[in-house]
Amino acid sequence: MSTNMFKKMSNLFFRATEMISQSYEHRVHLINTFNEEFKKAYNNSDLCRFCYFSTVSGNLEFKHAFSSHYLRSGFQLTIDEDYFLTDNDFTLISSYVLENTEFVKKLMVIGYDTFIVKGKTSIEGIQIPLKEIVNLDLKY
């Protein structure tokens, strides 16, 4: 009986580990893809400022059912040349990402709960709770 219980626990642990690993791989792929595309756009003069994404600590007040507990939960867009940016600029820039609700859902499913837009040299910026953009409406 204890051997059977051990096998069940082992299988459950393996599946949970696989899910966490896949979520991490999705995050890395997402960040790398975005950064490559933004780099190309900047080099082609499609963007006037160099921007890049990273995973950072999220805001604890923005947690939701899928928030990452072991990995950082903030999805951050950093604007490299941040001189003369205002709060309105940060809000406008964030709207380009947040208008795509399907993308926001995907961010939430892989563990992100906070979208952050900030300048590289400034402390200023904005934090947006993803759960206010998309309601996952989980029913059990």
Quickly state the pLDDT bin for 140 (edges 50, 70, 90): very low
Ranking 37-41, 81-85, 103-107, 133-137 by mean pLDDT, the lowest is: 133-137
What integer pLDDT is reported at residue 48 of this predicted model? 84
Buried b (16+ CB within 10 A) or exposed e, 117-129: bbbeeeeebebbe
Which range, 19-28, 107-116, 121-130, has the best average confidence (pLDDT)?
Answer: 107-116
Q: What is the mean pLDDT of residues 44-57?
A: 90
pLDDT per position as a tens digit, 62-78: 999 888 876 689 999 99
| Prediction pTM value | 0.78
What integer pLDDT is reported at residue 4 of this predicted model? 65
Distance CA 128, CA 12 (A): 34
Q: Of 122, 61, 55, 130, whose CA–CA distance to 87 is shortest? A: 122
- pLDDT value at 107 more than 80: yes
pLDDT per position as a tens digit, 35-44: 998 899 889 9
Helices within 44-126 (DSSP H only)? 87-98, 101-109
Tokens 């991490």 identify what position? 24
